Chains A and B, each alone.
Chain A
Amino acid sequence: MAAVATVSSASGILAMLQEPAEELKLHALANLNSVVHLFYPEISTSIPTIESLYEDEEFDQRQLAALVVSKVFYYLGELNDSLSYALGAGPLFDVSEDSDYAHALLAKALDEYASIKTKASKATEEEETVDPRLEAIVERMLEKCILDGKYQQAMGMAVECRRLDKLEEAIVLCDNIHGALSYCINLAHQYVNHHEYRFEVLRCLVKIYQTLPHPDYVSISQCLMFLGEPETVANILDKLLSGSKDDALLAYQIAFDLVENENQAFLLNVRNRLTSQTPAESNPDSGSALPDDQAGNVGTGSTEPAGDVQMRDDTATPNGSAHTVNPNEVAHADRLAKIKGILSGETSIQLTLQFLYSHNRSDLLILKTIKQAVEMRNSVCHSATICANAIMHAGTTVDTFLRENLEWLSRATNWAKFSATAGLGVIHRGHLQQGRALMAPYLPQSGAVSGGSPYSEGGALYALGLIHANHGEGIKQFLRESLRNTSAEVIQHGACLGLGLAALGTSDEEIYEDIKNVLYTDSAVAGEAAGIGMGLLMVGTASEKASEMLAYAHDTQHEKIIRGLSLGIALTVYGKEEEADTLIEQMTRDQDPILRYGGMYALALAYRGTANNKAIHQLLHFAVSDVSDDVRRTAVMALGFVLYNEPEQTPRIVSLLSESYNPHVRYGAALAVGISCAGSGLSDAISLLEPLTSDVVDFVRQGALIAMAMVMIQTNESFDSRVGTFRRQLEKIILDKHEDTMSKMGAILASGILDAGGRNVTIKLLSRNKHDKLTAVVGLAVFSQFWYWYPLLYFISLAFSPTAFIGLNSDLKVPKFEFLSHAKPSLFEYPKPTTQQTTTSAVKLPTAILSTYAKAKSRAKKDAESKANLEKATEEASGSTTSGKAAAKTQDKDADAMQVDNAAEKKAPEPEPTFQILTNPARVIPTQEKFIKFIEGSRYVAVKPSPSGFILLQDMQPTEAEVLALTDAPSTVATNTGSAAGQQGSASSAMAVDDEPQPPQPFEYTS
């Protein structure tokens, strides 16, 4: 019996099924079940027979028949039928079986269950009942996962199947609840497409959070913000503020994190609630919180000296004297004031402004080259240059270039003048206190006969809006008055945009009425801005005003107004997802291509950053089938907005479109990649854009250059060599006399974007907590309108966010604090300043500078390293002597650098260090974030470990004097920028002496 006998056909067994005797049928079925994987093609022809066995009520092994049929269907790829029979098989279908069949069917069962649940939730009425057998299988699965410790799987399934009860169970049973909760939050944001349901999930998570003994308030607040529950957030903040010093730090941190998400309306709400609650609650709160706090500290044996100190103070006061004012209350009031400052966004804006000013590294030489290359009479390139300057210096308040070229600047006339004035707003963005004073010379003078041209007056109002974008409490009134007091359409245009920006998303009724009045004058220029302004005002409110706007868009004859309105309508449905579907449907089916074009924007904004399949599908459909090029272009571009949460996907999705015969589609593809991959430096994105930058059609080149700059922003040559190539390409285009104006303009703007905000900002559409940054998204959406209206270019400044690590102590001051970037410094350093290329030695010159520069840098790094070691050793003593030491260090370093300068030409460069010590506040670009580490044993410990943004630091040695950076102490600033050679060095140290950058002297370029 050497040969092992095997059956070659199932026909014998199948024949047995036909036998009249029950036993034979049974025997056949059992056999079939064991050979079904081999003979399913044969068995499939006999399925009706087996099915009839299953349906035969009297047959006692119906379930076995069902199992066999199910398996056959599985092998045939008919998963639906397979599943329904598997359900019929009851207990015979083994969930834990480790076979392909079982796995596939379980997956199918889950899908099925999830889709039924989803449908059921949509249908609202309870007519669709879930098959209890299916439910049983799913529950068995979930329980098995939980038992096996595969909590993440269980959570994923529970979320997918809309079983919040199970989700809760899984989370509570999990050994790492905090991890599980943050995993779930991620899950909710990334994979839950349905808006309502995501809310439910988050609500459930918040509920769990609140039951924990040590709630993670940072995450809770994020969830609550998403849910739009300012009251609860206010309560949490209030509770924390009344707690210990560390709690207060945590409260500040939460506030900063909330601010980062740029939800103005929500922040206002929280702030107002904080105010209204405190008078009533602060007394009992601070009274009761203290013993609590004390007990907590004693109980846990906490080592936080900060809390101890404060308590000692507190307990000391009653003995010391009978002050009429309770110091607790004073402290509380102080904290309240601080947190309000943070919530209003003023603190972060101010700190950002200081950071951007002090770290400004923009390269004026680039601008100079552009200026010289551009023909004076070409107004497009001229104003593009002004715009590039504005972008380069966005938020830095440095307007040196403009000051130096007043005469050149004065060539801007009419709308170019409007833009140039608005550009000042970009440069001074965030200069809340001085903004109005700065713009004063250009603003319309009430009462007196205005001397300035309406263009600069309008531009100035727009500039004010840009300065106060999303933080317009202080300026709204002024802008409204200006709007009412004028009938010049240019000024109205500026005022509408400005008001929209300042009151972004507040849905202020009065402002809306004012802007609406402008719209109803039916003036094309003012109406366009009014449309956009209304949209900005109503961002994300999905108010019924949209239908009003739509009705007017149908009435008016002016294309400009229709376009403005359709963008405005699109803005109103920002982030509304399914809720916006009716409106989107209405717009995309309109006869008027401009409204369909608005429909594309509505799709883009409603589904921003969701990667929603339905939206992508629709957009792709319009991208290839609409008759209007404008609609097609916008549809492709809109993909960028929908996909910005998954930037890796975009190049793949639009790659075919980028090779379209239609230049508009190619342009759209370029911008889509630019928008969704902005600031990522993604290799795929660059590869896709590269060929487009030398397209045959001029405007495609323009779009590709701008998009490329957006992708490459803050990426330097040593990170990706193509950045260098791109910079040279830009220069070549700008210098080329025969290049088309369009692509030249693109190149100029690209140079601006590439070095935006003094090389310290990036374009970010998602906050660190993966929330959408409303202002940024809206900014880019309106920016992409520059196709029709160049002044809208300035909206890009809304999308800039500083790439900074700013550590703050409990006074919200910036203490000196060091941390580690565990990567080669050259990967993330500033691009080298360009050099004059007039002489033939230009090639030699930069190399010499480079090597010394690198040498000096590496030496400085080593120095810093040794210093870090030293500091570790002498940790205790370091606090008091830091400032003196730092000063000494600086000198050492300078000496070293000089020495190296001399020797540089002879020695080969030493290998680069693999890490770098950064000093608070520091530039940390997004790609660098994963390398950031905190030095163990340093004086300050972060409340929430996060690699960038505003971080509250807990002081471990509160008794010692703190050395502050950025605000006073010039010596520390010198250390910060000590190794940096360049024209900004002196400026930064000089500036750092002041609390805040001095407002530049007003100047006027108009003759």
Chain B
Amino acid sequence: MDPKLVEVTQLFSRFKAAFARNDFDTSVSLLSQLKVLLTKFPSLPPSFQQTPNAVEELKIARDIYEHAVVLSVKIEDQDAFERDFCQLKPYYMDTCGIIPQSPEEYPILGLNLLRLLVQNRIAEFHTELELLPVNALENACIKHAVELEQSFMEGAYNRVLSARQAVPHETYVYFMDLLAKTVRDELAGCSEKGYDYMSITEAKQMLMFSSDQELHEYITEEHPEWEIKDGCVFFQKAKETQPCKEIPSLQVINQTLSYARELERIV
């Protein structure tokens, strides 16, 4: 067996042990070592050279990145999640059956969908969805994310929030928590557009805060343009500050004149 592969395998088992212990610091440092070692493998994307150990190498690399993704969820690092997922993706998408499908594939893809939903990157969400094969939609993990998105779009925020109870995989919990915040932002945006003002109680209920204190904090942090007086939240100011569309008269005049001039020039 290739010494490099042996080294990686050994290191990986140490990483897995640390990971199982929930010793995240050790895991992270081991992981970065592993990644560096992986760059030595020519069979990995993007070069995909056909070496004798290709299958082994690809498998172990995929395994490492899958763990990396899960680790990033555990340490609640969204950037790392995205990074690792991007690097993992070619193993799922581009290996063309050189290695068998990973059992973790759909949970991780679903996790990524959920992440996109949380970050409110709906366009990318759909792009990712389109890239999946049709039968993948049957998978519970994927289905969960798709249903969430549908509810989210419909405005059925209740269903979104209640879905937390029915997560298909333990790693999903982290993102489901974050989703509540996303939903709240959506609600705040809608209220701003839909109402001139709202009583504090209603606002509290609407935005799912348990106390006035929390509401106040939220408003000062996220929407400083909202005004609180007489027990009501006023959205008026936010609307006013929107720049009113000015007629670009000078530009229009210039354009018209230049058209006239060009017409003159027609030979």
Contact = CB atoms under 8 A, between A and B. Distances in A.
Are A and B genuine complex partners?
A: yes
Interface of A: 1, 3-16, 18-21, 23-24, 27, 31, 34-35, 623-625, 656-657, 659-662, 665
9 shortest interchain CB distances as A-B pairs: A15-B86, A27-B39, A660-B267, A7-B46, A3-B96, A5-B48, A624-B265, A15-B83, A11-B86
12 contacts: A3-B96, A5-B94, A6-B48, A6-B94, A7-B94, A8-B93, A12-B86, A15-B85, A23-B36, A23-B39, A31-B46, A35-B46
A657 B267 contact: yes
Given A16-B83, A23-B36, 10 more contacts: A1-B50, A1-B98, A5-B95, A15-B83, A19-B83, A31-B47, A35-B46, A625-B264, A661-B266, A661-B267
B82 to A, nearest CB: 7
A21 B50 contact: no
Given A9-B90, A16-B87, A3 B39 contact: no
A619 to B, nearest CB: 13
A664 to B, nearest CB: 11
B168 interface: no
B83 A18 contact: yes
Given A12-B89, A625-B264, A625-B265, A19 B32 contact: yes
B154 interface: no
B46 A10 contact: yes
A97 to B, nearest CB: 20
Interface in B66-107: 79, 82-90, 93-98
Contacts of B87: 12, 15-16
Nearest to B86: A15
Contacts of B181: none
A21 B88 CA distance: 17
A18 B83 CA distance: 7
B181 to A, nearest CB: 24
Contact of A21 (B36, B48, B54, B82): B36
Which of A6, A7, A9, A12 is packed against the most chain B CB atoms within 10 Å? A12
A8 to B, nearest CB: 5
Nearest to B88: A12
Contacts of B89: 9, 11-12
Nearest to A10: B46
A14 B96 CA distance: 21
Interface residues of B, number: 31
A19 B28 CA distance: 12
Contacts of A13: 45-46
Contacts of A11: 86, 89
B35 interface: yes
Contacts of A665: 267
Nearest to B83: A15
A21 B35 contact: yes
B146 to A, nearest CB: 22
A15 B98 contact: no
Contacts of A9: 89-90, 93-94
Interface in B19-60: 32, 35-36, 39, 45-48, 50, 54
Nearest to B90: A12
Which of B45, B88, B97, B261 is packed against the most chain A CB atoms within 10 Å? B45
B36 A24 contact: yes
A657 to B, nearest CB: 6
A34 B267 contact: no
B32 A20 contact: yes
Contact of A12 (B45, B95, B96, B264): B45
Nearest to B40: A27
A7 B83 contact: no
A10 B90 CA distance: 9
Nearest to A35: B46
A11 B36 CA distance: 18
Given A21-B35, A31-B46, A35-B46, A3 B82 contact: no
Contacts of A1: 50, 54, 98
Contacts of A659: 267
Given A15-B82, A24-B39, A7 B48 contact: yes
A754 to B, nearest CB: 30
A672 to B, nearest CB: 13
A210 B89 CA distance: 71
Contacts of B95: 5
A652 to B, nearest CB: 15
Contacts of B83: 15-16, 18-19
A662 B267 contact: yes
A34 B265 contact: no
Contacts of A7: 45-46, 48, 90, 94
Which of B46, B47, B93 is packed against the most chain A CB atoms within 10 Å? B46
B265 A12 contact: no
B37 to A, nearest CB: 9
A657 B50 CA distance: 64
A784 B124 CA distance: 69
Contacts of B35: 19, 21, 24
A28 to B, nearest CB: 9
A656 B87 CA distance: 58
Nearest to B265: A624
Contacts of B86: 11-12, 14-15
Contacts of A35: 46
A715 B39 CA distance: 76
Interface in B223-267: 261, 264-267
A881 B90 CA distance: 95
Contacts of B54: 1
Contacts of A3: 96-98
A3 B95 CA distance: 9
Nearest to A22: B36
A965 B79 CA distance: 98
A5 B265 CA distance: 59
Contacts of B85: 15
Nearest to A20: B32
A8 B96 CA distance: 11
B169 to A, nearest CB: 22
Contact of B94 (A8, A623, A656): A8
Contact of B267 (A12, A21, A27, A624): A624
A523 B46 CA distance: 88
A660 B264 CA distance: 12
A10 B46 CA distance: 8
Contacts of A16: 83, 87
Contacts of A662: 267
A604 B164 CA distance: 82
Contacts of A27: 39
A441 B97 CA distance: 108
Contact of B96 (A5, A10, A34): A5
Contacts of B79: 18
Nearest to B36: A23
A8 B98 CA distance: 15
Contacts of B267: 623-624, 656-657, 659-662, 665
A16 B47 CA distance: 15
Contact of A34 (B36, B46, B93): B46
Contacts of A8: 90, 93-94
A4 B97 CA distance: 10
A993 B97 CA distance: 102
Nearest to A15: B86
A20 B264 CA distance: 62
A348 to B, nearest CB: 44
A34 B89 CA distance: 19
Nearest to A669: B267
A9 B87 CA distance: 10
A284 B36 CA distance: 88
A3 B45 CA distance: 15
Contacts of A657: 267
A288 B89 CA distance: 91
A864 to B, nearest CB: 54
Contacts of B98: 1, 3, 5
Nearest to A662: B267
A31 B89 CA distance: 16
A29 to B, nearest CB: 11
